[in-house]
Amino acid sequence: MQLISTRDAGFEAAFTAILEDGRDTTTRVDAAVAEIIQSIRSEGDTALLRLTARFDGWAPADPTALRVTPAEVDAAIASVEPTLLEALDLAAQRIEAFHRAQLPADLVLPGADGVALGLRWNALDAVGLYVPGGKAAYPSSVLMNAIPARVAGVARLAMVVPTPGGALNPLVLAAARRAGVTEVWRIGGAQAVAALAWGTASIAPVDRVVGPGNAYVAEAKRQVFGRVGIDSIAGPSEVLILADGTNNPAHVAMDLMAQAEHDEAAQSILITDDAGFAQAVAREVEKALETLPRRAIAGESWARHGAIILVQNWEEAANLTNRLAPEHLQIMTADPQALFARIRHAGAAFLGRYTPEAIGDYVAGPNHVLPTGRTSRFASGLSVYDFLKRTTWVEANAVGLAAIGPAAVKLAEAEGLGAHAASVAIRL
């Protein structure tokens, strides 16, 4: 963990090193993924069965075994503790309410000059949802990916989830049912992404693939982009916490560790104006690492990528935040809204001492699928807009075409496109 101060002579170099910290996987998997995708394209279900046996450690008898039946989902839900189902339902209600409020309205401009204009929103026909099922299973990701798609009006939600040894996670299936997923497949990895993008005899292709995964999944999404849409190429998770010295150091330390326990490549950063508080948080982190179940992962993340930055004032903190453009931002100061007003780049913000980022991972309502690796400079979190597309329309009458057509003819002629010019002029 680095401890640096804006007063240090070498601060800019140290901060730049944090910005350029290469936390993405260094393993090159593009060739291997390309081979997997090509095998799915050329062999379809046959390749899917072979690759599932190879990577997931169980051999489906035929393609029908890859699909999870409604009876299996029913049995899985029945095995889940009722209080867990209640928590899942609360999360789903809040996520749906927030995303339903995002739904946009169509636009119509009548046009007194005889040219009416408009914009119409339409949902995608089919979406593929990738859900991790290897090192960990995340029912919350099912809700966050599927509910906005359903709210947007997507008719077909096809979920793929790797099942090592053939085992299904009951809570993941419960989340799928609650979120309105229409089909679930026991497949994962690059082969699942390829099957969603290109289709097989058993699995119809989709229009967009969303959801997190390992390096192979990320690379597969990169390679199928263009054939289908994707949400993003997600990197390791990150949190930036802006906290003053009036906070409880143990609270801030646990917030930092909540992000660090995701992955050895995750990044947790604290910015504060209080040197004593910085030291207290560092001590509390060491205490936490003695007891956390995932202390090995969190400890490596903190050692390799963690940082505490001392600033002289909150103006400096705001400027550094905009340069970091974090995925998650917690603001724990006396007036978090005032400081947030100066932040332009952040995937999601959590304001105040009682709003840990972890609440946003589950039950707050806004989506937890967010831009990583400083991409919040130009990207946003998942929303209903990712499952909608816009179609503009124009309707002109003779008077309207007479009013604006001559200008179109002039411009077309200037560009040397005679048929364009004639297509308008012939009507004038």
- Hey, which residues are catalytic here? 327-328
DSSP string, 326-349: -SEEEEESSSHHHHHTT----SEE
The span from the CA of 171 to the CA of 348, in Å, is 26
DSSP percent split of the chain into helix, strand, coil, nearest 5: 50, 15, 35
The span from the CA of 348 to the CA of 381, in Å, is 8
The span from the CA of 345 to the CA of 322, in Å, is 5
Residue corresponding to tokens 């604290």: 270
Pairing outcome for strands 115-123 and 388-396: antiparallel
The span from the CA of 379 to the CA of 397, in Å, is 40
Give 210's strand partners: 129
DSSP string, 200-240: -SSS---SEEE----HHHHHHHHHHBTTBEES------EEE
Describe the strand order of the beta sheet including 126-130 as a list of residue ranges: 183-185, 156-160, 126-130, 208-210, 229-230
Q: Are the CB atoms for 200 and 42 separated by under 8 Å?
A: no
151 closest CA partner among 127, 185, 183: 127
125 Rama sector, left if φ>0, alpha if ψ -120 to 50, beta otherwise: alpha
Q: What single letter denotes the amino acid at residue 87?
A: A
The span from the CA of 302 to the CA of 210, in Å, is 29
Size (the chain), residues: 428
Output DSSP code: residue 166: G
Q: Are the CB atoms for 177 and 157 separated by under 8 Å?
A: no
H/E stretch holding 79: none
Q: Are the CB atoms for 334 and 244 separated by under 8 Å?
A: yes
Give 68's strand partners: none
